[in-house]
Amino acid sequence: MERDGRARVAVKKNKKRQGKGKGQGGDGDGDGSGNGIKKGFSDEQVRMLETMFETETKPEPRKKVELARELGLQPRQVAIWFQNRRARWKSKQLEREYRALKCEYDKLSADYELLKKEKQGLRSELQRITDMLRSAGDQSDAGEDGNAGTFSGDGANCDTKYIGGHDCFDREAMLCPQMDDETIENSVEEMCDLLNVGGNKDDGGSLTEIPEKWCGLGPSEMSAAVQWWNFCT
């Protein structure tokens, strides 16, 4: 709490606080009018006090005395008015800050829910792709002679009719049940094993290593797929 030395010296010459008991503050009856009825300050008094408060929330004691004289009030009344004004301003300020924070929180919360839904959809889509790849792998196992519609051993010549088109990424086709992270990871590993591409942890492979051409997907499509994977995990 800062103090104004000059003001203190000046005030110290005055009498100490005029009593602590109820009814002893300031003018004795609390309204400065002497008739014992508590009234509010006049419009003009409030206007001048507000004007002063706008420029200075903590005026020097000297200024308060001056203002009190101008307004025909006791200096103590002016001091109390400023104390109350600061307290009530702070209270309103806290309310404003609370409302602003709550608004921000609500917005973030809504964004979070949207992202959660989007994540769910992407997971479903990934599972759908995995299932399709697996079924394609099964067909490959059934026909070892490398017929059309099957994957080749190195994955460089696979049938693109399943995943080569963008329909794989149709966001409306999110009908698969949810998978957990472990299931997804296992599926992808299995998928990679199946296709004999990177992704097997034991081989030191990485899911982020993209072969030049993988099952008909170009680098850009694969990059998008990897981004999805990273987002999902």
Partner DNA sequence: TCTAGCGAGTTGTTTACCTCA
Partner DNA sequence: CGTGAGGTAAACAACTCGCTA
Binding residues vs DNA (CB under 7 A): 1-3, 5, 7-9, 11-17, 19-28, 30-32, 37-41, 46, 58, 61, 76-77, 79-84, 86-88, 90
Please spell the DSSP secondary structure of 86-123, one letter per residue.
HHHHHHHHHHHHHHHHHHHHHHHHHHHHHHHHHHHHHH
User: Minimum CB separation from DNA for residue 101, in Å?
Assistant: 19
20/166 with CB nearer DNA: 20
43/172 with CB nearer DNA: 43
* Phi and psi torsions of 178, nearest 5°: -70, 150
Alpha-carbon gap, residue 225 to 199, rounded angstroms:
14
Please answer whether residues 137 and 163 qualify as being in contact, where contact means their C-beta atoms are separated by less than 8 angstroms.
Answer: no
Please answer whether residues 166 and 223 qualify as being in contact, where contact means their C-beta atoms are separated by less than 8 angstroms.
Answer: no
User: Minimum CB separation from DNA for residue 35, in Å?
Assistant: 10
Q: What's at 146, amino acid-wise?
A: G
9/148 with CB nearer DNA: 9
What counts of helices (H) and strands (E) characterise the chain?
Answer: 7, 0
User: Minimum CB separation from DNA for residue 42, in Å?
Assistant: 9
38/161 with CB nearer DNA: 38
26/137 with CB nearer DNA: 26
User: Minimum CB separation from DNA for residue 100, in Å?
Assistant: 19
User: Minimum CB separation from DNA for residue 58, in Å?
Assistant: 5
Please answer whether residues 233 and 184 qualify as being in contact, where contact means their C-beta atoms are separated by less than 8 angstroms.
Answer: yes
Q: Residues 188, 189, 194, 200: what is their CA dihedral angle, to the nearest 10 degrees?
A: 140
Please answer whether residues 230 and 118 qualify as being in contact, where contact means their C-beta atoms are separated by less than 8 angstroms.
Answer: no
User: Minimum CB separation from DNA for residue 44, in Å?
Assistant: 12
47/201 with CB nearer DNA: 47
